[in-house]
Each structure stands twice: as structure tokens, then as C-alpha cells.
């Protein structure tokens, strides 16, 4: 029963998380587009007010004219919209989902004993440390080097190396699926922390200075813009890390850490293309097609690299397994393997994901799912905790392809 309620919590939290993430990413993408698409104002009145850029747009049957003031507007409006709850709600729902999906059952979903055989409490502490330590190091790099000459390039290079190191450690310490998600959560935590610790506080200081009639320190806008730009490059890598859990051929690969790094790099390169594309349309620089090409080439290279090897047609004959009547596999052949490898999570005592496999009828009912998870994706058993062998996976394959007989 606990598994059933956890599944509902997982579903509802995932729903909320996706909704809030759409709102946050959507607003982030829009403002990156807006900053890149602003042109100097033509109207003299706007220039006198301190407007540094404007944009005319049409959407939903109406015309819009957003403007950006250089440092601060001459007068604050009575109503000022803040963009921060999208970020906070995304992080809170995401952390709650991470807790329900991984930390709650750390021994099953977080720990891979073939990599690190540690206690659940230790694994949880180390996983949480990833979120905190990465943020502290990232923030230190930005604060100490971000304002120097060529600071953006230096910060970008160091952050990339930091992400590579974190990816390598996560994939060597945790189960592959959890490692990918943890790296995504690590980046997302830094994104939201930048909003919480720098962007919003900086905006509050600017508003306080305007209300007090004091000069506005432009450093607050510069810091906020720096972190906001970083966030937009983190977005596609984070989304890949979050979605990869549905595709075991990525996180189950022997060099899964390199798969993760390459896919995140491809996402960042493709995002760079879209960021620069706005300026290209205004004639500010050349076409950024090279960034898109780099991203696509990396994706293609990973696809080719991960392709499964060809299987000889006589491979089954070389690894014979006992058969039922007529040379076909039936439930009686499969049941001992199910009992040894599957009942601990899908038996009478525990039914993970509300799936039970300790009877012929239930096995027949879930035949397609069993084939997909055990043979195709090789995602089950989770982290192969019960030690299912390749010859046993072949048994599942032959049983399903013979008609999934249970008689």
C-alpha cells in the first residue's frame, strides 16, 4: 500500500514540477530573447526617460511595446511584477519529487552496490552535498572571477570543468539513473539559488535606492544579468538529465558519465545558437549556425557510439536454456527466475509500481511491460540489484517472442 501512495505522490509532484518548470523556463527564454532583440529607442521622449532599448511585437491579436531602462526608470510604477515564484516553485516541487522518488527508497533507487556499498543515510548525505557544494563552488567562481577581463570565458571554462568532475563522481558513486538526475538537480539548484541569493536581492537593492532618491549601483544589474545568462545555458542540460531516466541506454552505459557530459554540452551549444540567433536577425553578428552544427554533430556522434552491437542469429543456441513442451518457453521455465530475481519487489509482500508478478495470470497481464523493462531497456531489476544474468534475460526474450505462454 505504501508503494501505491508513493506512486500517487510521485505523479502529482511530477505534474506540479513540470507545470512550474514550463513557467520558469518560458519566462527565462522570453527575457533572454527580449534582451537580445532590443534596439535603441527612436522616440526622443523615451531617450530622455533613460530607455536603452525597445521592442515592438505582435501576439494574440495585440501589439506590445516593451522597453528597457538603463539601470533604473525615472519613476517606479505603483505595480511592479516580480519573476521569482516560478523559480522557487520549480525547485521546491523538484526537490520534493527527488525525495519521494530517490531519497525515500535510497537503497533501491540511489545506491548501486557494485559501485558504492554504503548505508542509505550516507548515500543521502552525499547526494545532498552535491547540491550544496556545487552551488558554493559555482558561486565562488562567479564572485571572484566574473568581473575580471575575459571573466565570462574564464567562468564558463571553470564551470564546465566543475560540471564534468561532478558528473564523473556522481556516475561512479550512484546508480546510473540517480546519477543523471542528481547532476540535473545540482544544476537546477544553482539556477534557483542564483535567483534567491543574487538576482532578487539585487533588484530589491535597486528599488530601495530609487525610493530613497540615491544613485543606483549598476553592479546589481550586471550580477543579475550574469547569473540569468548562466541559467539559460544550464536549461537544456538540466532538461536532458531529467528526461534521461526514461532511456536506460544512456545511464546504463559503462561510460555513462561521458554520455552525460556530451549530451549536456550538446544542449548548451544548441542553446547558444538560439541565443545568438536573435542578435543575428538584427545584423549584430554573423549567423550562429556553427553552434547548432557542433551540437548536432555531438548528438549524432553519441547516437552512433551507443548503438547496440549486432547479435548473431545463433546466439541463443550457444547459450541453451531448458525448454518446455514443444521446445517453447512457458511460465514453468520462467517462474524460478521470477522468484529469485523479481518477487522481492513484485511479490506478495511488496508491489513496486503496483505491479505483482507472483502468479501466472499476473505475469501474462504484464508480459509486454516485462519484455520492455527486462529485455529491451534492461532497466529492471532496478540497478540489477538481484543480479539478473544475460542468459536469464534471454529466457524472458524467448518466452515473450514465443507467445508469452503461461499454460
29 Cβ neighbours under 8 A, 6+ residues apart: 232, 235
Q: What is the mean pLDDT of the chain?
A: 87
- 63-91 as b/e: b if 16+ CB within 10 A: eeeebbeeebeeeeeeeeeebeebbebbb
| pLDDT reported for residue 329 | 64
For residue 385, report the phi and psi dihedrals to the nearest 5 degrees. -65, -30
Per cent of the chain over pLDDT 70 is: 93
DSSP 8-state symbol, 245: G
110 Cβ neighbours under 8 A, 6+ residues apart: 102, 103, 120, 123, 124, 127, 174, 175, 178
CA distances, 189 to each of 5, 184, 231 (Å) = 27, 9, 10
Distance (Å, rounded) from C-alpha 370 to C-alpha 138? 42
Q: Which helix (H) or strand (E) holds 400?
A: helix 390-401
DSSP-assigned beta bridge partners for residue 221: none
CB 229 within 8 A of CB 274: no
Distance (Å, rounded) from C-alpha 65 to C-alpha 46? 12
The C-alpha cell 530622455 sits at 48
Distance (Å, rounded) from C-alpha 405 to C-alpha 267? 44
With a cut of 60, say whether residue 314 has pLDDT above it. no
| pLDDT reported for residue 318 | 43
Q: 10 Å Cβ neighbour count for 255? A: 12
With a cut of 60, say whether residue 191 has pLDDT above it. yes
| pLDDT reported for residue 274 | 93
| pLDDT reported for residue 326 | 45
For residue 8, give the C-alpha cell. 500517487
Residue-by-residue DSSP string for 82-120: ---HHHHHHHHHHHHHHIIIIITTHHHHT--TTT----H
Distance (Å, rounded) from C-alpha 124 to C-alpha 131? 11
List the one residue out of 110, 103, 2 whose CA is nearest residue 349.
2
CB 98 within 8 A of CB 181: yes
What mean pLDDT do residues 92-104 have? 92
What mean pLDDT do residues 86-105 have? 92
Residue 270: pLDDT band with limits 50, 70, 90: very high
What mean pLDDT do residues 278-297 have? 92
94 Cβ neighbours under 8 A, 6+ residues apart: 17, 21, 185, 188
List the one residue out of 123, 94, 133 whose CA is nearest residue 238.
94
List the one residue out of 186, 211, 214, 204 whose CA is nearest residue 95.
186
Total length of the chain: 407
Cis peptide before 381 (omega within 30 of 0): yes
With a cut of 90, say whether residue 238 has pLDDT above it. yes
With a cut of 90, say whether residue 337 has pLDDT above it. no
Amino acid at each position: 500500500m505504501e508503494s501505491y501512495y508513493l506512486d500517487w505522490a510521485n505523479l502529482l509532484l511530477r505534474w506540479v514540477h513540470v507545470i512550474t518548470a514550463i513557467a520558469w523556463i518560458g519566462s527565462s527564454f522570453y527575457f533572454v530573447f527580449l534582451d537580445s532583440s532590443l534596439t535603441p529607442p527612436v522616440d526622443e521622449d523615451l531617450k530622455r526617460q533613460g530607455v536603452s532599448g525597445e521592442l515592438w511585437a505582435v501576439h494574440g491579436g495585440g501589439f506590445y511595446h516593451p522597453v528597457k531602462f538603463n539601470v533604473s526608470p525615472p519613476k517606479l510604477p505603483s505595480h511592479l511584477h516580480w519573476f521569482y515564484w516560478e523559480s522557487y516553485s520549480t525547485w521546491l516541487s523538484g526537490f520534493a519529487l527527488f525525495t519521494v522518488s530517490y531519497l525515500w527508497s535510497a537503497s533501491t533507487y540511489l545506491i548501486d552496490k557494485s559501485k558504492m556499498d554504503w548505508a542509505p543515510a550516507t548515500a543521502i548525505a552525499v547526494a545532498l552535498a552535491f547540491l550544496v557544494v556545487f552551488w558554493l563552488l559555482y558561486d565562488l567562481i562567479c564572485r571572484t572571477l566574473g568581473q575580471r577581463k575575459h571573466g565570462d570565458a574564464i567562468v564558463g571554462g571553470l564551470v564546465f570543468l566543475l560540471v564534468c568532475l561532478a558528473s564523473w563522481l556522481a556516475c561512479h558513486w550512484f546508480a546510473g539513473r540517480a546519477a543523471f538526475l542528481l547532476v540535473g538537480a545540482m544544476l537546477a539548484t544553482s539556477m534557483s539559488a542564483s535567483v534567491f541569493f543574487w538576482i532578487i536581492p539585487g533588484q530589491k537593492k535597486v528599488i530601495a535606492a530609487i525610493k530613497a532618491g540615491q544613485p543606483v549601483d549598476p553592479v546589481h544589474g550586471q550580477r543579475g544579468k550574469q547569473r540569468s545568462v548562466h541559467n539559460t545555458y544550464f536549461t537544456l542540460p538540466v532538461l536532458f538529465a531529467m528526461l534521461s531516466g526514461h532511456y536506460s541506454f544512456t545511464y546504463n552505459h559503462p561510460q555513462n558519465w561521458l554520455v552525460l557530459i556530451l549530451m549536456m554540452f550538446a544542449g548548451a551549444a544548441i542553446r547558444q545558437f538560439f541565443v545568438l540567433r536573435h542578435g543575428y536577425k538584427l545584423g549584430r553578428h554573423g549567423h550562429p549556425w556553427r553552434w547548432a552544427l557542433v551540437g548536432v554533430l555531438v548528438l549524432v556522434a553519441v547516437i552512433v557510439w551507443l548503438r547496440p552491437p549486432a547479435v548473431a542469429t545463433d546466439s541463443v543456441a550457444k547459450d541453451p536454456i531448458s525448454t518446455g513442451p514443444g521446445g517453447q518457453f512457458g511460465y514453468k521455465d520462467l517462474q524460478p527466475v521470477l522468484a529469485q530475481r523479481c518477487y522481492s519487489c513484485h511479490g506478495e509482500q511488496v508491489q513496486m509500481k503496483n505491479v505483482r508478478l507472483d502468479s501466472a495470470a499476473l505475469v501474462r497481464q504484464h508480459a509486454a511491460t516485462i519484455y520492455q523493462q527486462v529485455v529491451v531497456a534492461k532497466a529492471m531489476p532496478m540497478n540489477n540489484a538481484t543480479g539478473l544474468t544475460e542468459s536469464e534475460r534471454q529466457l524472458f526474450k524467448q518466452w515473450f517472442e514465443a507467445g508469452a505462454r503461461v499454460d
